[in-house]
Structure 1
Amino acid sequence: MELSIDLKGRTVLVAGRAAVADRAVRRYRAAGATVRALGSPCEDPAALLQGVHLVAAVDDGRPGWAALERACRAHGVLFAREEPARHRGTVTLVGGGPGAVGLLTLDAVEALREADTVLYDRLGPHETLPRLAPVAELIDVGKRPGHHPVGQRGIEELMVVHALAGKHVVRLKGGDPFVFGRGGEEIAACAAAGVPCRVVSGVTSAVSVPAAAGIPVTHRGVSRMFTVVSGHAPLTEEEHRHLAGLGGTVVVLMGVGTLPQLTAGLHWAGMRADMPVAVVERGYSASQRTTVGSLSTIVADAAAAGCESPAVLVVGEVVRTGLELQGEVARLAELDSALGAS
């Protein structure tokens, strides 16, 4: 059973050896309570209950706390037992999805709630972290185009150092840790340091951001497959040939900067010039925007619209399908005009 109690302005007595009760003390303070700490059992616990609304006893292996529980029952003070803080640090790689809090999984929310340290980037739901991780130290390790204040090796070192200090570290990443998220490298760093690490999958932006724009990556009779590509660096001629020959839908992450090379390469590899293309910027945010065009016009269309990262590119007939499903007559007309011009 889980209870929700408003503790703002109320007094909470946390009982237990400091080494195991520290996390509980920080959590109750974060909830707005006035916290008193009791590190050892005493002979007259009833004298400690004046003005106390809740007693939280953290199990530190000593039997002397039974008298405190009896005193709470006798004086009508709420009494709760809690598990001790971890002695051994751990790391949890959490996929934060495209940034919308509602797309966090239940496991992700639980990991953040139990975190002592959160290393986060700009694509995860970082603006709500003070609420999601109320007792954690929040460290921004976000990378931006041309600006990497903390490199990948530095992030891995931070994870390991905090975990070896006995903390539960959450590495909060945008999307899914294993979809261009360098999660494998971070697991390897933890393994090398002997730090336990687990992965909580996230909703990848490769599927969710097109969906936010109403574009299905597959659709019966239109596309029965989709390929996810990193646009961080230009693709090779062989990769362009492979994508153009596969058919289906091509979804490109981090591809605004390499859009000219992508479109030129796909056209060179045989993809038709009038293939619909969409650029979906800032998926799930209040400023989400979709720019549509064709393989031959999208570079100019994106430049005219001022498209910027973060954005997801979608190449394929599903772009037209998405517009049709939404009944967006105006944008369909724009797309048809672009296709006619290509």
Structure 2
Amino acid sequence: MSSLAPLLPGTVALVGGGPGDAGLMTVAGRAAVEQADVLLVDHLAPEEALTWAPVETLVVDVAKLPRGAFTPQERINELLVEHARAGRRVVRLKGGDGFVFGRGMEELQACTEAEVPVRVIPGVTSSVAVPALAGIPVTHRGIVQGFTVISGHVPPGHPASTLDYGALARSGTTLVVLMGVATLPAITAALVENGLDPTTPAAVIARGGHPDQRVVSGPVADIAVRAAHVDPPAVTVIGEVASFAAVTAASTLEEVN
């Protein structure tokens, strides 16, 4: 089925909203929002996209804010199924791409198990788009041939962490850290302790895709100190490509010396 096919009553669409700028949403994502009877919205979804929905659309805030408002994932799954079974066109709107640390598969499984028709409309992932908006390529010919995206929601050594920081430090790839503002000191320390050159360039891009986007750059050994004033959401890039932040005119740059 085409991603632009009409959204039928009783159907759920899982839509990735991209990195923050509504103009970076996909055509299919916008079409789904324009047909929604119910919108279940995360706090990182583009605010402008809400204006595309019909005036009678029910908008439900299901944000998971760090140390703030929190809607359990189980309840979100229930809402998707409940509204779809009531014959409504349901759109789940997230920031970035819902299948990159966005629990999109959990929602897909909930709908599938409930025999609710579900459509996936991928979004532009912030792990690639936000660095690009700051003029940083995650790969670059002659510099790096790959990139690794990790979640920083728990620090190294935490029982819930499954990451091998020794392997990451030796990977030779660009490291992109999502959800890692609070844990950045521990993450960067673990990388350096495991052999990453402490002078490796790094950059923290705050509120990527928004008018107030800001970039803080510096060596990985002290990037956490330089970016201590940065609040979520932010994406951290670690690797030689992060040095492009110092020469780009694509965003406002805070160069802390």
8 A Cα contact 1:112 1:132, kept in partner: yes
1:261 partner amino acid: A
Distance 1:170 1:205 in 2: 20
1:268–1:122 distance in 2 versus 1, CA, 3 Å: same
What pairs with 1:165-314 in structure 2 (closer than 5 Å)?
165-236=86-157, 239-303=164-228, 306-314=229-237
User: 2:3 maps to which residue?
Assistant: none
Distance 2:81 2:148 in 1: 34
- Give the number of equivalent residue pairs: 247
Mind listing any 5+ residue stretches in structure 1 that lack a counterpart? 1-83, 338-342
1:245–1:133 distance in 2 versus 1, CA, 3 Å: farther
What is the percent sequence identity of the aligned residues? Answer: 48
Shift of 1:228: 0.4
Tell me, yes or no, if structure 1 residue 323 matches structure 2 residue 246: yes
User: 1:111 maps to which residue?
Assistant: 32
Distance 2:134 2:25 in 1: 19
1:203 partner amino acid: V
1:95–1:85 distance in 2 versus 1, CA, 3 Å: closer
Q: Deviations over 1:280-318 (max 9, x none)?
A: 000111211101111111121112xx1110000000110
User: 1:137 maps to which residue?
Assistant: 58
Rg comparison, structure with higher value? 1
Structure with greater proportional helix content:
1
User: 2:68 maps to which residue?
Assistant: 147
Calculate the TM-score normalised by the size of structure 2: 0.90
Shift of 1:326: 4.4
User: Per the alignment, in what secondary structure is the counterpart of residue 109 of structure 1?
Assistant: helix
Distance 1:209 1:277 in 2: 14
1:278 partner amino acid: A
1:139 partner amino acid: V
Greater mean deviation of Cα atoms: 281-290 or 143-152: 143-152
Distance 2:213 2:135 in 1: 12
Shift of 1:248: 1.9
8 A Cα contact 1:115 1:135, kept in partner: no
Distance 2:77 2:7 in 1: 23
Distance 1:219 1:265 in 2: 25
1:137 partner amino acid: L
1:248–1:326 distance in 2 versus 1, CA, 3 Å: farther
Q: Deviations over 1:114-134 (max 9, x none)?
A: 111000011111344033444
8 A Cα contact 1:94 1:171, kept in partner: yes
1:169 partner amino acid: V
Mind listing any 5+ residue stretches in structure 2 that lack a counterpart? 1-5
Two-structure CA RMSD over aligned residues (Å)? 2.2
Q: Deviations over 1:23-54 (max 9, x none)?
A: xxxxxxxxxxxxxxxxxxxxxxxxxxxxxxxx
Distance 1:137 1:225 in 2: 42
Q: Deviations over 1:302-337 (max 9, x none)?
A: 12xx11100000001101134335499x97xx57x6
Q: 1:163 aligns with which of 84, 105, 118?
A: 84
What pairs with 1:82-101 in structure 2 (closer than 5 Å)?
86=8, 88-101=9-22
Report which structure shows greater RCO (CA 8 Å, sep ≥6).
Answer: 2
1:270 partner amino acid: G
Q: Deviations over 1:233-272 (max 9, x none)?
A: 1135961111111112000001111101101100011001
Divergent runs of 4+, >3 A: 132-135, 235-238, 324-328
